Amino acid sequence: MGMAWHCISLLVILAGLMVRGNGFPAEDFVEALPGQPKVGFKQYAGYIDVDVKAGRSLFYYFVEAEKDPDQKPLALWLNGGPGCSSIGGGAFTEFGPFFPRGDGRALRRNKMSWNRASNLLFVESPAGVGWSYSNTSSDYNTGDANTARDMHIFMMEWFKKFPSFRSRALFLTGESYAGHYIPQLAVALLDHNADSKDFKFNIKGVAMGNPLLKLDRDVPATYEYFWSHGMISDEVGLAIMNNCDFEDYTYPSPHNVTEACNSAISQANQIVGDYINNYDVILDVCYPSIVEQELRLKKLATKISLGVDVCMTYERRFYFNLPEVQKALHANRTNLPHGWSMCNDDLNYTQADGNLDMLPLLKQILQSGIPVWVFSGDQDSVVPLLGSRTLVRELAHDLHLQTTVPYGAWFHKRQVGGWVTEYGNLLTFATVRGAAHMVPFAQPSRALHLFSSFVRGWRLPNTTQTRMDD
Ligand SMILES: *[C@@H]1O[C@H](CO)[C@@H](O)[C@H](O)[C@H]1NC(C)=O
Ligand SMILES: *[C@@H]1O[C@H](CO)[C@@H](O)[C@H](O)[C@H]1NC(C)=O
Ligand SMILES: *[C@@H]1O[C@H](CO)[C@@H](O)[C@H](O)[C@H]1NC(C)=O
Ligand SMILES: *[C@@H]1O[C@H](CO)[C@@H](O)[C@H](O)[C@H]1NC(C)=O
Ligand SMILES: *[C@@H]1O[C@H](CO)[C@@H](O)[C@H](O)[C@H]1NC(C)=O
Question: Which residue range(s) make up the domain with 170?
Answer: 28-215+353-456
403 ligand 1 Cβ < 6 A: no
40 assigned to some structural domain: yes
pLDDT confidence tier of residue 118, bands split at 50, 70 and 90: very high
Residue 146 has pLDDT above 90, yes or no: yes
pLDDT value for 370: 98
Q: Are 161 and 62 in contact (CB under 8 A)?
A: no
**CA–centroid distance for 124 within its chain:** 11
pLDDT value for 42: 97
Q: What integer is the mean pLDDT of 203-213?
A: 98
pLDDT value for 288: 82
pLDDT tens sequence across 92-101: 999 999 999 9
Task: For a ligand 4 pocket test, name from 131, 317, 326, 327 the mutation site with the most ligand atoms within 8 angstroms of its C-beta.
Answer: 326
pLDDT value for 470: 62
Residue type for position 394: E
Could you tell me the distance, in angstroms and rounded to a whole number, from the CA of residue 39 to the centre of ligand 4? Answer: 28
Q: Could you tell me if 138 and 267 lie in one domain?
A: no
Q: What distance in Å separates the CA atoms of residue 365 and residue 362, rounded to the nearest whole number?
A: 5
301 assigned to some structural domain: no
Q: What integer is the mean pLDDT of 113-139?
A: 98
**CA–centroid distance for 340 within its chain:** 18
Give me the DSSP letters along 315-330. Answer: HHHHHHTSHHHHHHTT
Q: What integer is the mean pLDDT of 170-192?
A: 98
pLDDT value for 19: 41
Residue type for position 156: M
Residue 214 has pLDDT above 60, yes or no: yes
Residue type for position 185: L
pLDDT value for 297: 79
Q: What integer is the mean pLDDT of 55-68?
A: 98
Q: What distance in Å separates the CA atoms of residue 441 and residue 92, rounded to the nearest whole number?
A: 10
Residues tagged active-site? 176, 380, 437
Q: Could you tell me if 153 and 263 lie in one domain?
A: no
Q: Could you tell me if 177 and 247 lie in one domain?
A: no
148 assigned to some structural domain: yes
Query: What residues contact 5, with CB distance under 8 A and at least 6 apart?
Result: none
pLDDT tens sequence across 337-376: 999 999 998 899 999 999 999 999 999 999 999 999 999 9
pLDDT value for 14: 45
Within 13 Å of residue 268, how many CA atoms lie on the same side as its CB? 28
Helix ranges, 196-285 (H): 215-228, 234-243, 259-272
16 assigned to some structural domain: no
Query: Which range has the worst mean pLDDT, 161-165, 270-274, 290-294?
Result: 290-294
85 assigned to some structural domain: yes
* Residue 263 exposed, middle or buried by CB count within 10 Å (0-12, 13-18, 19+): middle
Question: From start to end of 176-220, where are the E strands?
Answer: 203-209
* Radius of gyration of the chain measured on its C-alpha atoms: 23
Within 13 Å of residue 140, how many CA atoms lie on the same side as its CB? 15
Q: Could you tell me if 171 and 56 lie in one domain?
A: yes
Element containing residue 429 per DSSP (H, E)? strand 427-432
49 ligand 1 Cβ < 6 A: yes
* Coil/strand/helix, residue 83: coil
Q: Could you tell me if 243 and 210 lie in one domain?
A: no
259 assigned to some structural domain: yes
Q: Round the average pLDDT of the chain to a whole number and report it.
A: 93
Query: What residues contact 392, with CB distance under 8 A and at least 6 apart?
Result: 374, 423, 427, 429
Q: Could you tell me if 266 and 410 lie in one domain?
A: no
Query: Which range has the worst mean pLDDT, 177-181, 284-288, 428-432?
Result: 284-288
286 assigned to some structural domain: no
Residue 116 has pLDDT above 90, yes or no: yes
Element containing residue 51 per DSSP (H, E)? strand 43-51
Structural domain count, the chain: 2
Q: What integer is the mean pLDDT of 168-173?
A: 98
pLDDT value for 23: 67
**Atom 2 of ligand 5 has which residue's CA nearest to it?**
462
Q: Could you tell me if 62 and 181 lie in one domain?
A: yes
Q: Could you tell me if 118 and 196 lie in one domain?
A: yes
pLDDT value for 9: 52
Please report, rounded to a whole number, the percentage of residues in the chain having pLDDT higher than 70: 95
Instruction: Select from 243, 259, 274 the last residue of a domain.
Output: 274
250 ligand 3 Cβ < 6 A: yes
**CA–centroid distance for 298 within its chain:** 30
Please report, rounded to a whole number, the percentage of residues in the chain having pLDDT higher than 90: 85
Task: For a ligand 3 pocket test, name from 215, 247, 256, 351 the mutation site with the most ligand atoms within 8 angstroms of its C-beta.
Answer: 256
Query: Which range has the worst mean pLDDT, 23-37, 183-197, 326-340, 448-462?
Result: 23-37
CA distances from 216 to 181, 244, 255, 354, 398 (A): 19, 11, 11, 11, 17
Query: Which range has the worst mean pLDDT, 86-90, 269-273, 361-365?
Result: 269-273
pLDDT confidence tier of residue 22, bands split at 50, 70 and 90: low
Residue 1 has pLDDT above 60, yes or no: no
pLDDT value for 319: 97
Q: Are 163 and 67 in contact (CB under 8 A)?
A: no
Q: Are 47 and 333 in contact (CB under 8 A)?
A: yes
* Residue 372 exposed, middle or buried by CB count within 10 Å (0-12, 13-18, 19+): buried
pLDDT value for 469: 62
**Atom 1 of ligand 5 has which residue's CA nearest to it?**
462
Q: Could you tell me if 68 and 187 lie in one domain?
A: yes
From first CA to last CA, the distance across the chain in angstroms is 47
Could you tell me the distance, in angstroms and rounded to a whole number, from the CA of residue 242 to the centre of ligand 3? Answer: 18
237 assigned to some structural domain: yes
Strand 170-175 relative to strand 74-78, pairing: parallel
CATH number reported for the structural domain that contains residue 154 in this entry: 3.40.50.1820
CA distances from 449 to 45, 349, 387, 466 (A): 27, 34, 24, 10
Q: Could you tell me if 187 and 257 lie in one domain?
A: no
Q: Could you count the other beta carbons within 10 Å of the beta carbon of residue 323?
A: 9
Query: What residues contact 421, with CB distance under 8 A and at least 6 apart?
Result: 403, 405, 406, 407, 408, 428, 429, 430
Residue 461 φ/ψ, nearest 5 degrees: -70, 135
Could you tell me the distance, in angstroms and rounded to a whole number, from the CA of residue 83 to the centre of ligand 4? Answer: 18
Q: What distance in Å separates the CA atoms of residue 138 and residue 148, rounded to the nearest whole number?
A: 17
**CA–centroid distance for 229 within its chain:** 26
Within 13 Å of residue 372, how many CA atoms lie on the same side as its CB? 29
57 ligand 1 Cβ < 6 A: yes
Residue 267 has pLDDT above 80, yes or no: yes
Tell me the pTM.
Answer: 0.94
Could you tell me the distance, in angstroms and rounded to a whole number, from the CA of residue 418 to the centre of ligand 5? Answer: 16
Q: What integer is the mean pLDDT of 163-176?
A: 97
Q: What distance in Å separates the CA atoms of residue 170 and residue 211, rounded to the nearest whole number?
A: 20
Q: What integer is the mean pLDDT of 82-87?
A: 97
Q: Could you tell me if 189 and 50 lie in one domain?
A: yes
DSSP state of 97: S
Residue 3 has pLDDT above 90, yes or no: no
Q: What integer is the mean pLDDT of 166-190?
A: 98
Q: Could you tell me if 129 and 247 lie in one domain?
A: no
256 ligand 3 Cβ < 6 A: yes
pLDDT confidence tier of residue 305, bands split at 50, 70 and 90: confident
466 ligand 5 Cβ < 6 A: no
* Coil/strand/helix, residue 99: strand
Strand 119-123 relative to strand 74-78, pairing: parallel
CA distances from 118 to 62, 267, 273, 311 (A): 11, 45, 39, 28
Q: What integer is the mean pLDDT of 56-80?
A: 98
